[in-house]
Amino acid sequence: MNLLERFLTYVKIDTQSDPNVDTCPSTLKQKNLGNLLVEELKSLGVSNAYMDEHGYVYGLIPSNSKKPITPIGFIAHMDTSPDAPGAGVNPRIIKAYDGGVIQLNETLSMDPAKFTALNYVVGQDLVVTDGHTLLGADDKAGVAEIMTMVEIMTLHPFEHGDIYIGFTPDEEIGRGADLFNLNFFKAKFAYTADGSLIGGIEYENFNAASAKVSFIGKSIHPGASKNKMINAQHLAFEFHSLLPVFDNPAYTEGYEGFNHLSNMEGSVEEAKLGYIIRNHDMVKFNKQKEDFKRVVRYMNEKYGYEAVSLTITDSYFNMLEVLKYDMSPVELAKQAIQNVGLTPHSEAIRGGTDGARLTFMGLPCPNLGTGGFNFHGRYEFASIQQMEQAVDVMVEIIKLISKG
């Protein structure tokens, strides 16, 4: 298969992860893609490829050099986001995009005036959705690119060191690095292929946490409730109103952090709110977490009982805090990007990748652009030419590290 054939095959396999399930992988269907990737890796000569019980896929292209070469790795995630439908993906190819409005179906369209990422792909061939599902370029573009790089390195090899390959489940729900096998994956550093515009090399991301807030009310018949009822749903409304108004993600961009109310449920007796907390700056990140605790203390004192309880769980941290002590993986990628005729660019990720967690686990892991855009929704698309360039960047990284 060539790169496009791989990508179209992978996106049609439903691999949506589920944040409400605690197993790993959170959905067994992710293993359907994992099994396919193992068989494909073996067919390409990666005889040691395997998938473990948790749905992680690994492989090693052994060094063919007599001299010592730094071992490196490439990682992508197999799951797709639960934010939009992921089953029944029906991709469509648009040749030589003319810069106009793209009609996805009878009701949905993409106008470049609103979906400005389209301005980066005029004249290129695009893969789009039919408007009923996400596409899965996040991160099957990265998976297809790594697999195509493997094909090049096994069928048309040049001198290289150990090249490790890893495909993870459950990245979209923040668990992709939880059970990653660093005992097998002995790269000195690696790259996640999980970015967007080609030429990107990202090494800053959010510090991230989740907050679960529970409210206990006092229920009584509304006809006899004066001075007695405390509605847990009203407590939830009050709690949210006491958080800083402009920490709403709808008001933020760039390096600005946010508190995002992601889910809510409730009745008179009990209510729950779920938040994600994000900031690139650790001091500001900790201040946001303290805001939550401060509101809990205030409300419990106000109502005279434990009306509100809070659990905050850190998810991942800004990889720059580690990479800043050795930026050589970033500089290597920048040189490779330049060597293939592109301009390297870096932006702080307003999100996270497996690489953030892996960096703190001892595997420095910046992120490469893949040519996919508008992730997590029905407007997702990918540029075929940019995906091809992403493969070129990976191969050039290997050439550069092999030269020493």
Contact 375, 381 (CB under 8 A): no
Decide if 381 contacts 135 (C-beta within 8 A): yes
β-pair partners for 260: 276
What letters, b where the CB count within 10 A reaches 16 and e where it falls short, cover 206-216? bbbbbbebbbb
At residue 154, the 3 state secondary structure works out as: helix
Reference 37, options 171, 113, 145; nearest CA is 145
Closest by Cα among 402, 401, 397 to 193 = 397
- Report the 10 Å Cβ neighbour count for 155: 9
Residues 6 or more apart whose CB falls under 8 angstroms from that of 49 comprise: 37, 38, 41, 42, 57, 58, 59, 165
Q: Which residues are catalytic?
A: 79, 171
